A and B are shown apart, each in its own frame.
Chain A
Amino acid sequence: MSFLSLNNVSASYGSSQALFGVNLTLNEGEVMALMGRNGMGKSTTVRCICRMIPSSGSLTFASVDLSKLASHQASRLGIGLVPEGRRCFSGLSVYENLVAAARPGFWTFEKIVDLFPRLGERKQQIASSLSGGEQQMLAIGRALMTNPKLLILDEATEGLAPLIRDEIWNAIKQLKTETGLSILVIDKSVTELRSISDSAVILERGRDVWSGKMSELTSEITAKYVGV
């Protein structure tokens, strides 16, 4: 069953059009990779889904029309975003970052600490003083604390040390296997995306140029559109 559906979605930044009729269908419990080179419209697509920028075309999530909603309403509907560049609440502690975003549901502070034990050790530490990897864990934890039905990870491992990156990928795999959360993931690591995703959509210059099951994604296609 279609959980998140984008039909012919277009978006612009002022007079500069960034998306030209993007289509995407994500089913419940599925992990989908949104792939493409830099500047092809991946983050813009995410911003449209999260209603951070206006768009035309049809966007539905859990049978609700997203196009009329504000950003906070989309989040309340169950879309949790881990934004590019982490963007924690820098002046708040780890605990405060998580509590500020909390909504009732499966995910609690204790459950986040189970997923990322480092956050438990840094509970009272101010977010801006955390390492990049810890801030990323906090950003994921904060998104989970909203108890989303769909988790969107925008470049969640960008700029992190390999060990930390592994830790984060393991956590994402754990989310997939243990919670059955629907996930839309953007990342540069095709290897990791292949290992975790059920399906993929590739964007090229603001258009979806390939979509299908991950098992059908050949190295020729990734070489052509992703450059890997």
Chain B
Amino acid sequence: MISERYFNIAILALLIIVPTWAYFADEPFTITLMTRAAIFALAAVGLNLALGTGGLVSFGHAAFFGMGGYVMGILAHHAQTFTPVAEVPFLIEGTKSMPVIWLVSILLSAVLAWVIGFLSLRTSGVYFIMITLAFAQMMFFFSISWSEYGGEDGLSIYVRNSFPGLNTLDPIQFYILCLAILLIVLGAMARVVKSPFGLALNAARQSPQRVDAVGLNVKRLRLVAFIISGAITGLAGALFADLNRFVSPTMFSWQLSGEIMVFIIIGGVGRLFGPVVGALIFVALEHFLGGLSDFWHIYLGLLLLMIVLFGKGGIIGMICGREKSHG
């Protein structure tokens, strides 16, 4: 077995070496693929806090991913058309500034997560899964009917948003930005899961009654985790929309919720780098097998089946051994 620490360093090296090679080999598409993987990983890092640490099987995280995407789309659309987002009760202008878009995405995704979490955390098990799915589907159908922002056709943004000091249209610079965000969030997550809050959340996954008995409000712990989780996934949505310069209702789709969950299961539930490994494998399969067959999801399904049946700790579990807190 390889130490998880060394494995994580190897993955980190991969995230740096591959785009560096692609940059010098003039392979911008590879950089775009790595950017896509980094953004998917970020979305899954968000879900991993709720699912891996908190045991909350949310099947509706696309709601936050789409929320982040639409925040980016709407703000950028109004900035490029020189129209205000709203005039009543006060004037809200569009913007092409990434930091502002990220901040609004995080805030609105957190508010949405608070609403969804507040209502869905009253239930557990299959009901929780279904309620989170139902909220994401509501968002999906709402976006389809929202003709002002493209409805079913989505919304195109002609120029990538800006970040001070960087040319975000340059694939490597945008990748560095996404990687930096991913690493900052991973660093924060490593601290959060070892903080008293993270430990209590982990303990609540194992036995909510025991956590209640030591004076911790399990519902509140889970709600806070769900909000943080949603906010991170929302940020990933904003970056994803910027990568594609396009937002559409598919960002809210249940398939996307499932894919974010698949990244975590493939990589390793509750493992810090599990979402990163899962997203890298997903994007690699999507690219290499997707070029060979339209039915490449069959191979993804087989991989998922193998992992669920024979390696419950995901790829990291198979290589580094199972994490004790996830049995």
B-side contacts of A142, CB under 8 Å = 214
Q: How many A-B residue pairs have CB under 8 A?
A: 77
B291 an interface residue at 8 Å Cβ cutoff? Answer: no
Given known contacts A72-B217, A99-B196, A100-B196, A92 and B203 CB-to-CB distance under 8 angstroms: yes
Give the complex CA separation of A157 and B28 in angstroms.
66
| Structural contact, B207 and A72, CB atoms closer than 8 A | no
Interface string of A173-204 (1 = CB under 8 A from B): 00000000000000000000000000000000
Give the complex CA separation of A99 and B212 in angstroms.
15
A117 an interface residue at 8 Å Cβ cutoff? Answer: no
Give the complex CA separation of A126 and B215 in angstroms.
22
B-side contacts of A100, CB under 8 Å = 196, 199-200, 202-203, 211, 214, 216
Quick one: which of A33-88 are within 8 Å of B by CB? 50, 52, 70-73, 75-76, 80-81, 83, 87
Given known contacts A72-B217, A99-B196, A100-B196, A91 and B324 CB-to-CB distance under 8 angstroms: yes
With both chains docked as a complex, state the minimum distance between the C-beta of B312 and any C-beta of chain A, in angstroms. 14
B327 an interface residue at 8 Å Cβ cutoff? Answer: yes
Most buried by B among A50, A80, A89: A89
| Structural contact, A87 and B215, CB atoms closer than 8 A | no
Give the complex CA separation of A90 and B212 in angstroms.
16
Task: Pick the residue among B213, B217, B325 that contacts A91 (CB under 8 A).
Answer: B325
| Chain B at the A interface: SS class | helix
Given known contacts A99-B199, A100-B199, A75 and B213 CB-to-CB distance under 8 angstroms: yes
Give the complex CA separation of A142 and B215 in angstroms.
11
With both chains docked as a complex, state the minimum distance between the C-beta of A52 and any C-beta of chain B, in angstroms. 7
A165 an interface residue at 8 Å Cβ cutoff? Answer: no
A-side contacts of B199, CB under 8 Å = 89, 92, 96, 99-100
Given known contacts A87-B210, A99-B196, A100-B196, A92 and B215 CB-to-CB distance under 8 angstroms: no
Most buried by B among A73, A80, A96, A145: A96
B78 an interface residue at 8 Å Cβ cutoff? Answer: no
| Structural contact, A70 and B212, CB atoms closer than 8 A | yes
Given known contacts A52-B209, A126-B324, A89 and B196 CB-to-CB distance under 8 angstroms: no
B-side contacts of A99, CB under 8 Å = 196, 199
| Structural contact, B202 and A146, CB atoms closer than 8 A | no
B-side contacts of A102, CB under 8 Å = 196
What's the tally of chain B residues with a CB closer than 8 Å to chain A?
A: 22
Give the complex CA separation of A76 and B215 in angstroms.
5
Give the complex CA separation of A89 and B217 in angstroms.
16
A228 an interface residue at 8 Å Cβ cutoff? Answer: no
With both chains docked as a complex, state the minimum distance between the C-beta of A153 and any C-beta of chain B, in angstroms. 13
A-side contacts of B200, CB under 8 Å = 100-101
With both chains docked as a complex, state the minimum distance between the C-beta of B221 and any C-beta of chain A, in angstroms. 10
B218 an interface residue at 8 Å Cβ cutoff? Answer: yes
Given known contacts A87-B207, A91-B202, A143 and B214 CB-to-CB distance under 8 angstroms: yes
A-side contacts of B325, CB under 8 Å = 91-92, 126
B-side contacts of A146, CB under 8 Å = 214-215
| Structural contact, A89 and B207, CB atoms closer than 8 A | yes
- Some 25 contacts from A to B, beta carbons below 8 A apart, are A52-B209, A70-B217, A72-B214, A72-B217, A73-B215, A75-B216, A83-B210, A89-B202, A89-B203, A89-B207, A89-B210, A91-B202, A91-B206, A91-B326, A91-B327, A92-B202, A92-B203, A92-B325, A97-B203, A100-B196, A100-B202, A100-B214, A101-B215, A101-B216, A126-B325
Residues of B within 8 A of A (CB): 194, 196, 199-200, 202-203, 206-207, 209-218, 324-327
Extra contacts besides A50-B213, A87-B207, A99-B199 (7): CB < 8 Å: A52-B213, A72-B211, A91-B206, A91-B325, A92-B325, A100-B211, A145-B214
